[in-house]
Structure 1
Amino acid sequence: MGFFLNRSLSLAFRDAVVASVCFKVLLFPAYKSTDFEVHRNWLSITYSLPLKEWYIEQTSPWTLDYPPFFAYFEWFLSQFARFVDPKMLIITNLNYSSTATIFFQRVSVIASELVLVYALQRYIKLLPEDKRKPAYAIAMSIYFSPGLLLIDNIHFQYNAMMYGILIFSIVSMSEKKYLLSGILFAVLLCFKHIYLYLAPAYFFYLLRVYCLDINRFSLANPFAVIQWEHIIRLGLSVILVGLLAFGPFIYLGQIPQLISRLFPFSRGLCHAYWAPNFWALYSGADRMLYFLSKKLLHHNFETDSAALTRGLVGDSSFVILPDVQPRATFLLTLFYQLISMAPLLLRPSFDNFISALSLCGYASFLFGWHVHEKAILLVIIPFSFLALKDRRYLTPFFLLTVSGYISIFPLIFTSSEAAIKYIYTFTWIFAFFNVFGDVAKVRHVRRIFLFDRIAYIYFLGFVPLLLFVSIYEKIPILKDLTFLKLMLISTYCAIGVVASWCGFSWLYLFAEND
């Protein structure tokens, strides 16, 4: 990492991209999850069927459940896929994975990452050449993200492209191109609806800096603050984007069907593998209380005690603690998101916008319904742009990244890829611990000493945890507890993510002006 930053910065990012692409090509034969078949099936749906059947077709269990822009993207890819291997576009060819199909889909992921490359290049060009080192450090930390590598280039998804659009929108906001930023975010929502969780930060910031002009306020004419022209421009632009995406389905009368695909609330509170969030701690506490009640108090329970640890989607009943309803998770998420909006409204600045964006991601990840472990990137990516703002942000940032990236490890469970996930992730951790420590600004002398030291102890705790997980299956007494190792990783990582959220929230809400 130091090699890239110490040579000509104008060449550093280009070299990083070339090196990364070469490495990712070597991963073509690597393990691929069911998401590979998901996207192959979506290629076949969008290619073989008329648009009116895209969100109805259900030959495969992996039905199309992303917004229309992503469906159009799959259709676009399918126009090239037919020249590579037409059999991949046959709907009934379930689990088809010829060598040509694997090659094509892997290449499509790498090609789509050019969106991320472009967005990051725009970001690093915001500053003069002699002040770009922090920007390059942040850009490289995102581009080399273990999360993106493990999820996109091995597990198989297109997250880098999505985050490229998000970063392009963030950069446009930094350049005060507010209308463009809002349009890009609307486009992103029409690609993947999970980014709705970030919408409050966009809404309140654009309202404050683009739609209202507080300097024009007067008691005689309080409505003078309203920038009607800007509101109309932004509103019409967002509506136009929405119509481009959803218009055909509005015409076909399929919006209810489309909504049922996008928001499947029939799924349970926790994903098949618990995301490291508040509900992982809640679920772990329930499991512990059940164990203690059964062993120490000799209580008998009619409820299936294994329900929580089977790892089944839609199965999230609790034994001791009260069950959680979707409404409760929505209210908790909204409550903590709205708290972060207060400083954004009172002190509208780009840094506060990024902080609010990060806290919206935190709240959705920690308290949302059926959160995927992969959604941790929704927090890590925005937070990355603040990590070098002040050295006090480094501890919550590293708590978040270390916990978040290690929590993804169980997704890549094959032994042949184990070395990759460990070596790559820990190389990233050590490299950016060092680089960020050297580059971060010292804006405040006082730091939270105790919080820093506890964080170091927490990091060391990953050593025995990962060693135990690696020999878990060799311990006979634990052979039947198939979900225990996943539960341990998830709950321990959840402690780090929650601690990071608490530390970051304190800095943003109370200590910003210390």
Structure 2
Amino acid sequence: MAALSERSWSWSWMVPLVFGVTLLKCLLIPAYHSTDFEVHRNWLAITHSLPISKWYYEATSQWTLDYPPFFAWCCKCVNRRQESKEIMERPAFILAVLLLWNFGLLIVDHIHFQYNGFLFGVMLLSIARMFQERHLESALLFAILMNFKHIFLYVAPAYGIYLLRSYCFTENKLGGSIQWKSFSCSRLFALGFIVFSVFAISFGPFISMGQLSQVLARLFPFKRGLCHAYWAPNFWALYNVVDKVLSVIDVKLQLLDSAKLSKASMTGGLVQEFQHAVLPSVSPFTTLVCTLLSIMPAVLQLWLRPRGPRGFLQCLILCALGSFMFGWHVHEKAILIAILPLSLLAVENRKDAGTYFILATTGHFSLFPLLFTGPEIPIKIGLMLLFTVYSFSALRALFRKEGSLVNLPESIYLSALVPLQVICEIIYPLTAWQQRFPFVPLLLISVYCSLGVTYSWIKLYISVLMEPRSDRKMKAQ
């Protein structure tokens, strides 16, 4: 990927940009915060007050520690074109805004209260090291990242395959074609030593106390059910709503007991297991198989048709999207794992820019229900409008000579988000249905956004699989 240039940053515009982001975040301090604030505060109390042997057993509060031990301890992107300095700096500035002012990060970290900003910073730094061919540094950063938050296991296959293919195997050009030269056991040992050391430091104390199974049980609570309390906009949201429609039809036709319909509800807002009424219920193993099948084409292409760091980044994004689409108990915030890395591709070519705009718009809109009180409505709408208008206008200007970012059907789909928001936030709460069916707005947003996320995933997959092999490489500064 001919994108990450070796030219140094132009700090003249970065300083006011960073200052502006910081100021905005300070203004959000008195805003509503979710229960995650209490969750993390309780975790701090646990790790501060209790010995390490009791961290993953403490259950006095419902907010039990369920992050990996490391969390418990608590770029420039331009093509090398012969253009004016102003044009050369534009992609870098656009990328900086897409990352620093990302709407999802703003509301999730600074209103809903989490720590995704610094975690994604580590992730992007790891990606940059990969583009610089500093593979061991990249592996070290990613291993540390997974021990901060295990959700980044979503993209671990991309790291594993790329490091094995491009670092452990050395290549040589013979007769104009790239052929296998040898497999380096020393490189594999160095890579394995780094990863093993990080995990040993992280989990070692708990292994020595015989608590590994308890830690893993907290990190992977499969009893929480297929979907989060608020459905993430993925395949299972579509699956659930089809099950609901079929169950209602069966009740009308007297093929299904109405009592079973109520037991099959998945929108009560609680974290627990549910059974589908008509369609087969989904087990954790089923979601694992579906996830592996969804990422397999990207992983195989990364192994069989390596295209340098660009291919790695594409595979990483597809792994993130595949895991989001088919994973077990996926949180809606996990869409950011795909949106932020896709920002790097969005400033490179028009196709990726269009896919990014659709995914970012629908993915960010799906986060709206996280902020559900009245005072937050103008804040979330205003912030998203600013980010969406800027990203569209900036990317359209960047690729104005290559055509439009989105076609007519895509524009119609995205435009429909406006009346959907009006219905869910203004009209529906005034109706009598609000008391009897309070989950309908959540269902509408989740299902509608899942269509856009699914479309973006398919569109990106087609683009990646059809892309001709190129030996161009991105260089990171």
* TM surpasses 0.5: yes
Partner Cα distance (1:60, 1:48) in 2: 14
Q: Which residue does the alignment assign to 2:327?
A: 368
Q: Confirm or deny that 1:403 pairs with 2:362.
A: yes
Q: Aligned match of 1:347 in 281, 287, 306?
A: 306
Q: Which residue does the alignment assign to 2:384?
A: 425
How many residue pairs were aligned?
452
SS in 1 for 2:407: helix
Compute the displacement of 1:224 (Å): 5.3
Q: Confirm or deny that 1:487 pairs with 2:446.
A: no
Q: Which residue does the alignment assign to 1:182?
A: 139
Partner Cα distance (1:248, 1:308) in 2: 38
Partner Cα distance (2:125, 2:399) in 1: 23
Indicate the larger mover: 257-266 or 381-390: 381-390
Indicate the larger mover: 126-135 or 41-50: 126-135
Q: Aligned match of 1:387 in 343, 346, 365?
A: 346
Q: Which residue does the alignment assign to 1:237?
A: 194
Determine which structure has the larger helix proportion and give its number.
1
Q: Describe the shift of the 1:368–1:490 C-alpha distance in structure 2 as closer, same or farther (beyond 3 A).
A: same
Q: Confirm or deny that 1:51 pairs with 2:52.
A: yes
Indicate the larger mover: 157-166 or 382-391: 382-391
Q: Aligned match of 2:423 in 464, 468, 471?
A: 468
Q: 1:288 is matched by which residue type in structure 2?
A: V
Q: 1:321 is matched by which residue type in structure 2?
A: L
Compute the displacement of 1:413 (Å): 0.4
Check whether the contact 2:324–2:334 (CA below 8 A) recurs between aligned residues.
yes
Compute the displacement of 1:393 (Å): 1.7
Q: Aligned match of 2:294 in 326, 332, 336?
A: 336
Partner Cα distance (2:37, 2:451) in 1: 31
Compute the displacement of 1:135 (Å): 2.5
Q: Deviations over 1:188-224 (max 9, x none)?
A: 0110101011000001111111100132899xxx995
Please list, as runs of the form range in 1=range in 2, the aligned pairs for 1:123-162 lying within 5 A after superposition. Answer: 123=76, 130=85, 131-162=88-119
Q: Which residue does the alignment assign to 1:77?
A: none
Q: 1:308 is matched by which residue type in structure 2?
A: M
Partner Cα distance (1:357, 1:162) in 2: 16
Check whether the contact 1:307–1:315 (CA below 8 A) recurs between aligned residues.
no
Partner Cα distance (2:257, 2:189) in 1: 63
Q: Which residue does the alignment assign to 2:231?
A: 274
Check whether the contact 1:294–1:300 (CA below 8 A) recurs between aligned residues.
yes
Check whether the contact 2:172–2:181 (CA below 8 A) recurs between aligned residues.
no
Indicate the larger mover: 375-384 or 224-233: 224-233
Q: Which residue does the alignment assign to 1:84?
A: none
Partner Cα distance (1:336, 1:298) in 2: 34
Compute the displacement of 1:446 (Å): 8.6
Q: Deviations over 1:110-168 (max 9, x none)?
A: xxxxxxxxxxxx44699799434213211221111111111100010000011011001
Q: Confirm or deny that 1:288 pairs with 2:245.
A: yes
Consecutive unaligned residues of structure 1, counting only runs of 5 or more, are: 1-7, 74-121
Q: Describe the shift of the 1:124–1:299 C-alpha distance in structure 2 as closer, same or farther (beyond 3 A).
A: closer
Partner Cα distance (1:503, 1:140) in 2: 24
Q: Describe the shift of the 1:50–1:257 C-alpha distance in structure 2 as closer, same or farther (beyond 3 A).
A: same
Q: Confirm or deny that 1:506 pairs with 2:465.
A: no
Q: Aligned match of 1:319 in 253, 269, 277?
A: 277
SS in 2 for 1:385: helix
Check whether the contact 2:359–2:453 (CA below 8 A) recurs between aligned residues.
yes
Check whether the contact 1:151–1:374 (CA below 8 A) recurs between aligned residues.
yes
Partner Cα distance (2:130, 2:469) in 1: 23
TM-score normalised over the length of structure 2: 0.90
Q: CA RMSD in A?
A: 2.4
Check whether the contact 1:329–1:368 (CA below 8 A) recurs between aligned residues.
yes
Compute the displacement of 1:241 (Å): 1.0
Check whether the contact 1:307–1:316 (CA below 8 A) recurs between aligned residues.
yes
Q: Describe the shift of the 1:42–1:217 C-alpha distance in structure 2 as closer, same or farther (beyond 3 A).
A: farther
Q: Describe the shift of the 1:328–1:217 C-alpha distance in structure 2 as closer, same or farther (beyond 3 A).
A: farther
Q: Which residue does the alignment assign to 1:226?
A: 183
Q: Confirm or deny that 1:264 pairs with 2:265.
A: no
Q: 2:192 is matched by which residue type in structure 1?
A: G
Partner Cα distance (2:67, 2:418) in 1: 38
Q: Which residue does the alignment assign to 1:10?
A: 11
Check whether the contact 1:388–1:441 (CA below 8 A) recurs between aligned residues.
no
Q: 1:454 is matched by which residue type in structure 2?
A: P
Q: Which residue does the alignment assign to 1:117?
A: none
Q: Describe the shift of the 1:223–1:359 C-alpha distance in structure 2 as closer, same or farther (beyond 3 A).
A: closer
State the percentage of identical aligned residues.
41
SS in 2 for 1:156: coil
Compute the displacement of 1:423 (Å): 0.4
Please list, as runs of the form range in 1=range in 2, the aligned pairs for 1:447-462 lying within 5 A after superposition. Answer: 452-462=407-417
Indicate the larger mover: 498-507 or 346-355: 346-355
Check whether the contact 2:154–2:320 (CA below 8 A) recurs between aligned residues.
yes
SS in 2 for 1:479: helix
**Larger RCO, structures 1/2 (Cα 8 Å, 6+ apart):** 2
Check whether the contact 2:139–2:191 (CA below 8 A) recurs between aligned residues.
yes
Q: Which residue does the alignment assign to 1:72?
A: 73
Partner Cα distance (2:161, 2:392) in 1: 33
Partner Cα distance (1:135, 1:376) in 2: 23
Q: Confirm or deny that 1:191 pairs with 2:148.
A: yes
Check whether the contact 1:169–1:182 (CA below 8 A) recurs between aligned residues.
yes
Please list, as runs of the form range in 1=range in 2, the aligned pairs for 1:249-260 lying within 5 A after superposition. Answer: 249-260=206-217
Q: 2:52 is matched by which residue type in structure 1?
A: L
Compute the displacement of 1:433 (Å): 0.3
Q: Deviations over 1:462-503 (max 9, x none)?
A: 121111012211011343101011000000000000000011
